[in-house]
Structure 1
Amino acid sequence: LMGVTYVAVAAQHPLAQRAAASQPDLASFLKQISTAKMAEADLATAEKLGMPTGFTAVHPLTGEQVPVWVANFVLMSYGSGAVMAVPGHDQRDWEFATKYGLPIAQVIEPNDDSACDITTAAYTQRGRLIHSGDYSGLSSDQAFDAIAEALNSKGCGTRTVQYRLRDWGVSRQRYWGAPIPIINCSSCGPVAVPECDLPVVLPTDVEFDGIGSPIKQMPEFYNTHCPRCKSPAVRETDTFDTFMESSWYYARYASAHNDSAMLDADANYWLPVDQYVGGIEHAILHLLYARFFHKLMRDAGLVTSDEPFKRLLTQGMVLKDGAKMSKSKGNTVDPQALIDRYGADTVRLFSMFAAPPEQSLEWSDAGVDGAHRFLKRLWRMAYEHIDASFEVPDKPLEPQAVRRKLHETIAKVSDDYGRRQTFNTAIAAVMELCNELARLDQSQQDAYAVMREGLTAVVKLLAPIVPHLSHALWLALGYKSDMTHETWPEVDPSALLRDTLELVVQVNGKVRAKIDVPVDASEEIVQQLALSQDNVQRFIKEVTVRKIIVVPGRLVNIVAN
Structure 2
Amino acid sequence: MFPYPSGYLHMGHVRVYAISDALARARRMMGYDVVSPMGWDAFGLPAENAAIERSIHPNEWTIRNIEIMKGQMEKILADFDWERELRTCSPDYYRWTQYLFLKLHEAGLAYQKEAVVNWDPIDETVLANEQVDSDGKSWRSGAVVEKRKLRQWFFKITEYAEDLLQDLDRLHHWPERVKQMQRNWIGKSKGAEFDFTVPLPPSQAAQQEAIQVFTSRPDTIYGVQFLAVSTEHPILENVPVTHQSQVEEFKESLKKVVTSNQEPGPEGVPTGLFAKHPFLPEEKIPVYVVNYVVSDYGTGAVMGVPGHDERDYAFAMTQGMDIKYVVAPSLADSGIVEEQAAIPEGALTARGVLTSINGEFSNMTSDEAAEAIVKRASEHGFGREKTSYRIRDWLLSRQRYWGAPIPMIHCGGCGPVPVPAEELPVVLPMDVSFTGRGGSPLKQIESWVNCSCPKCGGAAQRDTDTMDTFVDSSWYFFRYLDPHNKSLPFSPAKATAGMPVDVYIGGVEHAILHLLYSRFLSKFAWKTGLYGKGPEIEDREGKEPGRGEPFKVLITQGMVQGRTFKDPVTGAFLKPTEVDLTDPAKPIQISTGLAPAVSWEKMSKSKFNGVDPEDMIQSHGADATRLHVLYKAPPSEELEWDEQSIVGMQRFLAKVWKIVGQSKGLTTMTSGAGLEEFKPEIEGMNKDERELWRQVNLTAKELTTSFQSTYAFNTSIAFLIKLTNHISSVMPSSSSPAQEQQQQQQQQVSKKNKSAKIQAEVSPDLYQYSVQSLVKMLAPLAPAFGEECWETLRTPLTSSAETASSISSKDSVFAHKWPSFDETALKEDKVVCGIQINGKSRFNVEFEMSDLPPESDKKAQEEFLRRLVYGHERASKWLKDENGQAKPVKKMIVVKGGKLVSFVL
Which residue of structure 2 aligns with residue 520 of structure 1?
A: 854
Alignment check: 8 A CA contact 1:513 1:536 kept: no
User: Does residue 417 of the first structure (1) align with residue 733 of the second (2)?
Assistant: no
Deviates more, 1:514-523 or 1:197-206: 514-523
Map 1:53-68 to 2 at 5 A. Answer: none
- Among 715, 718, 729, the alignment partner of 1:439 is 729
User: Does residue 284 of the first structure (1) align with residue 574 of the second (2)?
Assistant: no
User: Does residue 488 of the first structure (1) align with residue 791 of the second (2)?
Assistant: no
User: Does residue 184 of the first structure (1) align with residue 500 of the second (2)?
Assistant: no
Q: Tell me how far apart the structure 2 counterparts of residues 458 and 314 of structure 1 sit (CA, whole Å).
A: 28
Q: Which runs of 5+ in 1 are unaligned?
A: 1-70, 80-154, 389-396
Matched letter for residue 462 of structure 2: R
- Among 463, 466, 470, the alignment partner of 2:779 is 463
Q: Tell me how far apart the structure 2 counterparts of residues 507 and 213 of structure 1 sit (CA, whole Å).
A: 77
Alignment check: 8 A CA contact 2:854 2:861 kept: no
User: Does residue 316 of the first structure (1) align with residue 558 of the second (2)?
Assistant: yes
Q: 1:511 to 1:246 in 2, by over 3 A?
A: farther
Alignment check: 8 A CA contact 1:399 1:440 kept: no
Alignment check: 8 A CA contact 2:417 2:455 kept: yes
Map 1:336-347 to 2 at 5 A. Answer: 336-347=614-625
What SS class does the counterpart of residue 506 from structure 2 fall into? strand
User: Does residue 214 of the first structure (1) align with residue 548 of the second (2)?
Assistant: no
Q: 1:163 to 1:455 in 2, by over 3 A?
A: farther
Q: Tell me how far apart the structure 2 counterparts of residues 229 and 506 of structure 1 sit (CA, whole Å).
A: 89
Could you give the per-residue CA deviations for residues 506-551 of structure 1, whole angstroms, max 9, x where no partner exists?
9999999988783723456778969x999999xxx9xx99x98x87
Deviates more, 1:516-525 or 1:171-180: 516-525
Which residue of structure 2 aligns with residue 498 of structure 1?
A: 828
Map 1:148-167 to 2 at 5 A. Answer: 165-167=391-393
Could you give the per-residue CA deviations for residues 475-513 of structure 1, whole angstroms, max 9, x where no partner exists?
323465432222111223443233565678999999999
Q: 1:409 to 1:519 in 2, by over 3 A?
A: farther
Deviates more, 1:422-431 or 1:187-196: 187-196
Matched letter for residue 453 of structure 1: Y
Deviates more, 1:166-175 or 1:451-460: 451-460
Which residue of structure 2 aligns with residue 359 of structure 1?
A: 637
User: Does residue 429 of the first structure (1) align with residue 719 of the second (2)?
Assistant: yes
User: Does residue 271 of the first structure (1) align with residue 499 of the second (2)?
Assistant: yes
Matched letter for residue 270 of structure 1: G
Q: 1:173 to 1:502 in 2, by over 3 A?
A: farther
Which residue of structure 1 aligns with residue 489 of structure 2?
A: 262
Which residue of structure 1 aligns with residue 214 of structure 2?
A: none
User: Does residue 452 of the first structure (1) align with residue 731 of the second (2)?
Assistant: no
Which residue of structure 2 aligns with residue 370 of structure 1?
A: 648
Alignment check: 8 A CA contact 2:835 2:845 kept: yes
Matched letter for residue 319 of structure 1: Q
Matched letter for residue 256 of structure 1: P
Q: Tell me how far apart the structure 2 counterparts of residues 277 and 398 of structure 1 sit (CA, whole Å).
A: 41
Q: Tell me how far apart the structure 2 counterparts of residues 229 and 507 of structure 1 sit (CA, whole Å).
A: 92
Q: 1:515 to 1:224 in 2, by over 3 A?
A: farther
1:304 offset after TM fit, Å?
0.7
Q: Tell me how far apart the structure 2 counterparts of residues 270 and 74 of structure 1 sit (CA, whole Å).
A: 27
Question: TM-score, normalization: structure 2?
Answer: 0.38
Could you give the per-residue CA deviations for residues 396-428 of structure 1, whole angstroms, max 9, x where no partner exists?
x93432332222111111211222111111111
Which residue of structure 2 aligns with residue 107 of structure 1?
A: none
User: Does residue 475 of the first structure (1) align with residue 791 of the second (2)?
Assistant: yes
- Among 695, 698, 702, the alignment partner of 1:408 is 698
Q: 1:360 to 1:554 in 2, by over 3 A?
A: farther
What number of residue pairs does the alignment pair up? 395
Could you give the per-residue CA deviations for residues 19-62 of structure 1, whole angstroms, max 9, x where no partner exists?
xxxxxxxxxxxxxxxxxxxxxxxxxxxxxxxxxxxxxxxxxxxx
Which residue of structure 2 aligns with residue 234 of structure 1?
A: 461
Map 1:11-26 to 2 at 5 A. Answer: none
What SS class does the counterpart of residue 281 from structure 1 fall into? helix
Q: Tell me how far apart the structure 2 counterparts of residues 512 and 236 of structure 1 sit (CA, whole Å).
A: 78
Alignment check: 8 A CA contact 2:505 2:556 kept: yes
Alignment check: 8 A CA contact 1:346 1:372 kept: yes
What SS class does the counterpart of residue 409 from structure 2 fall into? strand
Q: Tell me how far apart the structure 2 counterparts of residues 313 and 556 of structure 1 sit (CA, whole Å).
A: 36
1:189 offset after TM fit, Å?
3.5
1:429 offset after TM fit, Å?
0.4
Matched letter for residue 725 of structure 2: N
Q: 1:279 to 1:526 in 2, by over 3 A?
A: farther
Q: CA RMSD in A?
A: 4.4
Could you give the per-residue CA deviations for residues 306-345 of structure 1, whole angstroms, max 9, x where no partner exists?
2223322222322212232345655432222332332221
Deviates more, 1:264-273 or 1:511-520: 511-520
Alignment check: 8 A CA contact 2:697 2:826 kept: yes
Matched letter for residue 491 of structure 1: F
Matched letter for residue 817 of structure 2: T
Q: 1:420 to 1:511 in 2, by over 3 A?
A: farther
Alignment check: 8 A CA contact 1:500 1:519 kept: no
Alignment check: 8 A CA contact 1:502 1:515 kept: yes
What SS class does the counterpart of residue 477 from structure 1 fall into? helix
Alignment check: 8 A CA contact 1:503 1:553 kept: no
What SS class does the counterpart of residue 274 from structure 1 fall into? strand
Could you give the per-residue CA deviations for residues 79-103 of structure 1, whole angstroms, max 9, x where no partner exists?
9xxxxxxxxxxxxxxxxxxxxxxxx
Matched letter for residue 440 of structure 1: V
Matched letter for residue 791 of structure 2: L
1:554 offset after TM fit, Å?
9.4
Q: Tell me how far apart the structure 1 counterparts of residues 897 and 854 of structure 2 sit (CA, whole Å).
A: 10
- Identity in percent: 39
1:253 offset after TM fit, Å?
2.5
Q: Which runs of 5+ in 2 are unaligned?
A: 1-176, 186-367, 372-385, 534-547, 564-599, 667-686, 733-742, 744-759, 796-806, 880-886
Q: Tell me how far apart the structure 1 counterparts of residues 497 and 440 of structure 2 sit (CA, whole Å).
A: 40
Q: 1:409 to 1:220 in 2, by over 3 A?
A: same
Which one has more relative contact order, counting CA pairs under 8 Å at least 6 apart? 2
1:354 offset after TM fit, Å?
1.6
Q: Tell me how far apart the structure 2 counterparts of residues 239 and 210 of structure 1 sit (CA, whole Å).
A: 16
Q: 1:187 to 1:386 in 2, by over 3 A?
A: closer
Q: Tell me how far apart the structure 1 counterparts of residues 709 and 523 of structure 2 sit (CA, whole Å).
A: 27
Could you give the per-residue CA deviations for residues 293-312 of structure 1, whole angstroms, max 9, x where no partner exists?
11101122110142223322
What SS class does the counterpart of residue 311 from structure 1 fall into? strand
Alignment check: 8 A CA contact 1:499 1:519 kept: no
What SS class does the counterpart of residue 207 from structure 1 fall into? coil
1:187 offset after TM fit, Å?
4.5
What SS class does the counterpart of residue 183 from structure 1 fall into? strand
Which residue of structure 2 aligns with residue 350 of structure 1?
A: 628
